Amino acid sequence: MDPTILTYQNKTNATNREDLLVQKLIFIVLVLSETVYFIFLLKCIVRLRKTREWKFLFPLVASLFALLNNLNDIVHVILAPVIPDVNCNKKFLTIFVITALFNWTPISFLQFIRLYQLTRGYYTPYWHRMITIGSLTLSIVYCCCYYYNLSGFYGTKSKNLGCAVYNIHIGYLIEISDTLDSGFSLFVIIASIRKALLNLKQYKLRHQKLKALKDESIFVFIILTVSKIGIYSVILYFRNIPGGDIFWDTLSVIVIACSYRIVNFKPRLNEKLENTRKILNNKNNIIYFELSFFLSSAVFLFLFGPLFFLSTKDSL
């Protein structure tokens, strides 16, 4: 046999093994991220019912649509050997587009609402209005880029994954607009912290709750911004290589986890303050009871002690 044929077959087998390994890795990440989405969906439902905090609807909707989007992929991977002639541009693509409508964009508007609340009272009405307009504009720009990119998806047949999608729009609109959106929020919060440090009166005890919210927000927005810059860079670098869903799912999990933490921090802080208040009240009640018992005992001894002493003396 011609040695060149053997070399070609070896290269082909190696390429097939690498593709199969990547596809298995994609499926593992799909299942893991599906589990994480389901956990956050349940957590959001529980916290929404317990705290009545309507902002839990943002991570709830995002995790629900991300869960359904991944479920669509998983079902088609499982059914790939059973339905070899599936048309990926019909049912699969329709479900993909519908479930991708609200698995990212709600988080952008949650960032806008959080920034609006955190900057209120720290700036003059003019600057607060400018920050609000800037944040809202970036959120709208990101949503427009996101839905424009979503309109360019088409389905394609995959041997082991059943169906996959590809995009005809070539560019970096989503990556740039999303990073700018989170970066702007991070910049404003850092500027607010600096403004508060320059005016230490704003960090007195009556502002400790707002301070805690700002400290938590700056931590979350740092994670969001750094994650987006890093993972988007990896996505762009491996854009033409199979397995890009791994990075998108990883970033999606980080975004939903951060959004849940943003919303859950204030109710969790209120619960801690309430528990601390109850503990202090219980301690005060115990101290009040002990003090009352001591005073009543002293009064009793002062009033009836001499009578008891005299009666005892008479009996002797």
- CATH number given to 12-280: 1.20.1070
Mean pLDDT of 132-142: 93
- Please enumerate in sequence order all residues whose Cβ is within 8 A of that of 142, keeping only pairs 6 or more positions apart, or say none: 105, 108, 174, 177, 178, 180, 181
Residue 158: strand, helix, or coil: strand
Query: Which of 168-177, 209-218, 238-247, 302-311 has the largest mean confidence?
Result: 168-177
- Predicted pLDDT at 9: 46
**Tokens linked to 187:** 């910049």
How does pLDDT run across 141-171, given as a tens digit for each residue?
999 999 999 998 888 887 667 788 888 887 7
Indicate the domain borders of the chain.
12-280
In angstroms, how far apart are the furthest CA atoms of the chain?
132
In this predicted structure, the answer to whether residue 63 has a pLDDT above a threshold of 70 is: yes
Query: Which of 85-94, 143-152, 217-226 has the largest mean confidence?
Result: 143-152
Mean pLDDT of 87-116: 88
In this predicted structure, the answer to whether residue 139 has a pLDDT above a threshold of 90 is: yes
Any idea of the CA torsion for 266, 180, 63, 226, to the nearest 10 degrees? -80
Query: Which of 79-88, 183-192, 269-278 has the largest mean confidence?
Result: 183-192
Identify which of 144, 27, 102, 129 has the alpha carbon closest to the alpha carbon of residue 259: 102
Answer with the residue of higher pLDDT: 195 or 154: 154
